[in-house]
Amino acid sequence: MWRVREGRAGKESHLVIKVVTDSTCYLPEDVLRQHDIRVVPLNVHFGQHLYREGVDLTPEQFYHLLATSPVLPTTSQPSPGEFRQVFAELSSVGHQVLCLVISSRLSGTYQSAIEAQQTLPGAPVVVLDSFSVAAGLALMVLTAAEMAAAGYPMEAILERLERLRHDIRLYFVVDTLEYLQKGGRIGKAAAFVGSLLQIKPILAIQDGIVQPLDRARSKPKALERLLEHFEAGLKPGQPLQCILVHAQAFNETQQLAAALQRRFHCSRMLITEVGAVVGTHVGPGVVGAALAPMEDQ
């Protein structure tokens, strides 16, 4: 089941719905602007220096720091106050708010959003735990924003998102498990540690955490295996929406995108780069994608 916390949104179906998310969504800026999606940033810490993801630190700046800093970065969720400010601003001008955030099993961001909502008991705010991150979260955020713009009520959007959450396949290849291990987000993929000399792990986000999926002896073979896993879980000829993500691996991601287009009926495809928060835990070189069936809105 979803982890959903509702305010009075169900009683305010005549109000315009605005979508709020966090910075691990990684949708391109032009898409965010087009759909008026508000983003609350997570934080990255390099020693005593704090950076708000996407505000104080671009992906390029982050990966440079990651390569040159003597200390490894850490991450933290937004404060409840940051969410409260956005919720209050939108609800005060007559909007419903639908907030979708990174999996509560990967971050405390969901709890911050819930605490913010609880300080606005009269506001029409729904907070939803996506049980996903990056491309998976982006698929849900984009779907919600498009349905809201088309005038769908909150109940219909939530029903669609529940189906989407179960349908999304989010798989990715990392160059090393070092960052996931040190960041404490390795989940059941810890089973791969110790047996990965020159092996490329293929991982998935399932049930809101990192899960081991497969392994291969080179990056090209790992990406081929990733495609095979997508094929095993999807119906042939089914129209799909796809968001690809990478960290300083654009050429490999373009090749993956072309392979996905050849093998699947991708009605929509976006490529975006993961920023500082996810980059802290997966490191440079990651390539992945989230696929889900298209559905008539």
Rounded-to-integer distance, Cα 26 and Cα 44, Å:
15
Q: Is 130 helix (H, G, I), strand (E, B) or coil?
A: coil
Residue-wise pLDDT tens digits, 66-110: 999 999 899 999 999 999 999 999 999 999 999 999 999 999 999
**DSSP H or E stretch at residue 256:** helix 250-263
Amino acid letter, residue 271:
I
Would you kindly state where each structural domain of the chain is located, as residue ranges?
Answer: 3-42+77-165, 168-293
Rounded percentage of the chain residues whose pLDDT exceeds 90: 80
Rounded-to-integer distance, Cα 220 and Cα 128, Å:
36
Residue-wise pLDDT tens digits, 207-236: 999 998 999 989 999 999 999 999 997 887
50 strand-pairing partners: 45
- Architecture in CATH for domain 3-42+77-165: 3-Layer(aba) Sandwich (3.40)
pTM score, whole prediction: 0.91
Rounded-to-integer distance, Cα 94 and Cα 123, Å:
9
- DSSP structure string for 27-54: --HHHHHHTT-EEEPPEEEETTEEEEBT
- Architecture in CATH for domain 168-293: 2-Layer Sandwich (3.30)
With bands split at pLDDT 50, 70 and 90, how would you rate the model's confidence at 181?
A: low
Q: Are 243 and 235 in contact (CB under 8 A)?
A: no
Q: How far is CA 271 from the centre of its chain?
A: 13
